[in-house]
Structure 1
């Protein structure tokens, strides 16, 4: 990469991209068309311990930030976002990009596979993200949902409508961006004992189990009973599919099929993914949530697909940004103002 330019002002950055994990951040930074040095005149607010990476994707100048190492969940995400806005009041839209647990229901037209991409899209009463640990038990075993979170900025919802229409006619650019990433950073494609690499892990490593089929101990599913496999039609390409719907978020890592199915029944929406940060952001920071699927939120969960899923989510985000007009971002209310009007 050429020597890094520095933009004249931190106000040149209107888009913030939040990653929870270092592997998610690596995938995000690999999508930059150009990396920047910190902008002239940038001063960090005294409460802000975040570390930023600056750069450009297409026409957008973007700042990337991740949560502190080993620190994830809704509270950590909220403090990262509030520190970010204290130092960068010019930010107008947010993107929360990384990995999540897929809620696959092949019989109900939700054939979600590992490496696929899910995007939070408002639906009826839901703002695209629902906080599942805010569900209240009511008398007579009825449950009431408390935790629907704010909608993403309109400029991002308009971009979703455009990209969906385009994908009806043309293939997604995600495979192209993944290929570009591997050409630019060959190390990301290499597999080793410690890192499976940012590439598709093979159809044979993507098994969906019936909820009743528990995991047999071990770091992978070699010992798990094949009778518990859910039979799915083979896919003829490793290119990821993209799914839109409600993402469920909360502070508990869901890796138990019975708990997963109970939460889905409580939420009562067409949920497609579990994750752990969005609920901390959505009422503090107007953003869209984009997740690559790395497991099925059950006891068979392992880390093999995490890097590839980080990469597919980042590649989709880069593709989506091309549908977001820079001028419209500039007309969007600053995130800080949105926050103050909510409060």
Structure 2
């Protein structure tokens, strides 16, 4: 039986019902104690489900983003029979009550068109997906919003900044329109955002738990405040210098201190395009014209056929001082936000989905243990 036939046979009624039940209370720590008390562990490895049993589609562009996504999983599921019409390679697993399918763009193939191909393959093979996420890293657009490296930007709108036409006088007219994530997932974003008004985000606790379970992921730890440098827009990096350690410190922007190194979460417009932004003046121009918080290269390719929520960890400032030092941590921070978001959403109807307590998963008895300080 082909993968597409398997998906059709197991398609649940939830596929036609787009509403996503929201959990009224989510696990969170007592912040007067230790945030490391957050834990999510599954005591057994579940067997393979079917294509129709997966309700969350999670797309990444880079291997480090996929590694961060996999590190968020409570369990990893066995593989499913391949489909000759689907070139994607999937990682299957679960987070809480959600069954997750993760796919990464082919190595060295980036941009909106490649993202669209991966998304369309996933959509065909996994017809019961209700929650769609694009999670990874992006370049920040500091300005009226105090964005720092390691912060997370959640896209309530996406615009393709390089889509348009060149006019008779050589000027560029942008013709793309703002696209929004599905309303159903944005209600969950609103729920989590309101929770964060009265309590701290769980990102730090989730990252601590990730390192406990995966101690080899040392590159994914917070790089340190001293390595977060924002230079004046008029000060370009000297390309003969191997790092910014030798850049002129007098050209650094003065910014007020923060009371915590925890990532802050920002909500706003994400600009997507087929080119990397590495020029501060261009960054500032686009930021002012489009009111964007973040730049990336894939989301615009998804919003038509795979409307999703785009979550980006900030790894640089979209300028000539761009480097890779913050990429792993930024990828992990974005993945941790995605995991926390899923904790406030209940699946509509997902056969064989794990529940809190004891449940049967393909004949195996499994216990999902959630431990957190009470409210």
Using the size of structure 1 for normalisation, the TM-score is 0.85
| Between structures 1 and 2, the one with greater helix share | 1
Q: Which residue of 2 aligns with 1:271?
A: 292
Q: Which residue of 2 aligns with 1:201?
A: 223
1:119 aligns with 2:148: no
Q: Aligned match of 2:132 in 94, 103, 107? A: 94
Q: Aligned match of 2:307 in 274, 286, 294? A: 286
Q: Which residue of 2 aligns with 1:317?
A: 338
Q: Which residue of 2 aligns with 1:194?
A: none
Structure number with bigger Rg: 2
CA distance in 2, matches of 1:329, 1:256: 46
CA distance in 1, matches of 2:61, 2:342: 20
Correspondences of 1:59-74 after superposition (within 5 Å): 59-74=97-112
1:2 Cα deviation from its structure 2 partner: 6.2
> Which runs of 5 or more structure 1 residues have no equivalent in the other structure?
122-127, 190-196, 331-343
1:323 Cα deviation from its structure 2 partner: 1.7
Q: Aligned match of 1:11 in 52, 69, 74? A: 52
Q: Which residue of 2 aligns with 1:234?
A: 257
CA distance in 2, matches of 1:119, 1:287: 11
Q: Which residue of 1 aligns with 2:360?
A: none
Does the 8 Å CA contact 2:53/2:350 hold for their aligned counterparts?
no
1:53 aligns with 2:88: no
Structure 1 residues 198 and 182: alpha-carbon distance in aligned structure 2, compared to 1, 3 A threshold: same
Q: Relative to structure 2, which stretch is displaced further, 164-173 or 6-15?
A: 6-15
Does the 8 Å CA contact 1:256/1:299 hold for their aligned counterparts?
yes
1:220 aligns with 2:243: yes
Q: What number of residue pairs does the alignment pair up?
A: 309
Deviations 1:157-193 (A, max 9, x none): 000110111000000000000000000011112xxxx
Does the 8 Å CA contact 1:253/1:276 hold for their aligned counterparts?
yes
1:228 Cα deviation from its structure 2 partner: 1.4
SS of the equivalent of 1:5 reads: coil
Does the 8 Å CA contact 1:219/1:302 hold for their aligned counterparts?
no
Q: Aligned match of 1:174 in 181, 185, 203? A: 203
Deviations 1:257-316 (A, max 9, x none): 122223234xx3321000000011111201000000000000000000000000000000
SS of the equivalent of 1:133 reads: coil
Q: Which residue of 2 aligns with 1:33?
A: 74
> Which runs of 5 or more structure 2 residues have no equivalent in the other structure?
1-41, 352-375
CA distance in 1, matches of 2:165, 2:319: 24
CA distance in 2, matches of 1:58, 1:104: 35
